[in-house]
Amino acid sequence: MDTDTYIGMTLALLGSNLCLLLLVLNVLGWLNFLHADLSPLENFAETTISPWQVHFQTAAAGWLIFTLLVNVFQTKQSGGGNDSEKKSQSKRPWHRTALIVASVVATLALPHLLAPHRNRHPIIRRSLIGNNLSTGGLKQPLTVLPAEDKPAAAEQELVFSVDNMTCGGCGSHVRNLAESNLNGQEGASSSFTVNKVQVDWRAGVMSVYGTHVTDFVDRGAIAASLDKEGYPTSFLYSQ
């Protein structure tokens, strides 16, 4: 690929807050093909890229317009050779440009496409980390109840102690296991919502954040799923 292709995809990735990259890495981690800690990358997207996301999106849009104009100019200036060569020269840039433009647009649009489905699977939720669309464009999820003047449910936290984690990859694997179990519980009940699962492998601690998790999450089921994989787990406290 040419340099301009790398520039366009880089701007698109940054403009989408690394959504596509996180999605691919999370899928690999979920399938246990990747034993790596993705928390630093997620924190980078949250703290470093998010404040500049609009600027990256603007730059990506400008790059798209510039690329299209350059290809129009190159097509008009192409000449020499017979008719078949002229046709080949005029078509080739547009075929390549169309593929690049489609890739950049799809990457920028990906967070918007995934946002309505963020609670259907942990992979989607984790890939939208740091993106305002992950909570419907709001920093905190709100529940609008026009018939009743009630505030949105406050976020709660469940804290577990997890042993035998020796690296960031182990922490990522533990998070995958816990989220897989929670995903099954969410599918069977609409009484609670999980916002994120955070693991500190050095401290041996895992936290589950969400609404109504202290009342409806089966803590024993989570501990049992981790125990089975060699990570002895016990519930510590909730808040």
> Is the model more confident about 121 or about 83?
121
Phi, psi of 2 (to 5 degrees): -80, 170
Which one-letter DSSP state was computed for residue 75? H
Strand ordering across the sheet containing 155-162: 193-200, 205-211, 155-162, 233-238
Residue 8 scores a pLDDT above 60:
yes
Per-residue pLDDT at 77: 64
- Distance CA(22)–CA(124), nearest Å, equals 9
Per-residue pLDDT at 178: 95
pLDDT in tens, 209-234: 999 999 899 999 999 999 999 999 99
Helix (H) or strand (E) holding 113: helix 83-114
How many CB atoms within 10 Å of residue 142?
12
Residue 139 scores a pLDDT above 60:
no
The yes/no answer on whether domain 145-238 falls in CATH 3.30.2350.10 is no
How many CB atoms within 10 Å of residue 128?
24
> Is the model more confident about 179 or about 94?
179
- Of the candidates 139, 129, 107, the one whose C-alpha atom is nearest the C-alpha of residue 197 is 129
Q: What would you measure as the largest C-alpha separation in the chain, in angstroms?
A: 78
pLDDT band at 187 (very low <50, low <70, confident <90, very high): confident
Encoded amino acid at 5, one letter: T
Per-residue pLDDT at 233: 96
> Could you state, in order of their start, the residue ranges of all structural domains in the chain?
3-134, 145-238
Per-residue pLDDT at 134: 44
Helix (H) or strand (E) holding 23: helix 19-30
- Distance CA(54)–CA(173), nearest Å, equals 33
Residue 1 scores a pLDDT above 70:
no
pTM of the predicted structure, to 2 decimals: 0.78
Per-residue pLDDT at 78: 59
pLDDT band at 186 (very low <50, low <70, confident <90, very high): confident
pLDDT in tens, 142-159: 333 344 544 567 889 999
Q: How far is the CA of 68 from the CAs of 15, 75, 89, 136, in angstroms?
A: 19, 11, 16, 32
Residue 117 scores a pLDDT above 80:
yes
Residue 161 scores a pLDDT above 80:
yes
Per-residue pLDDT at 172: 93
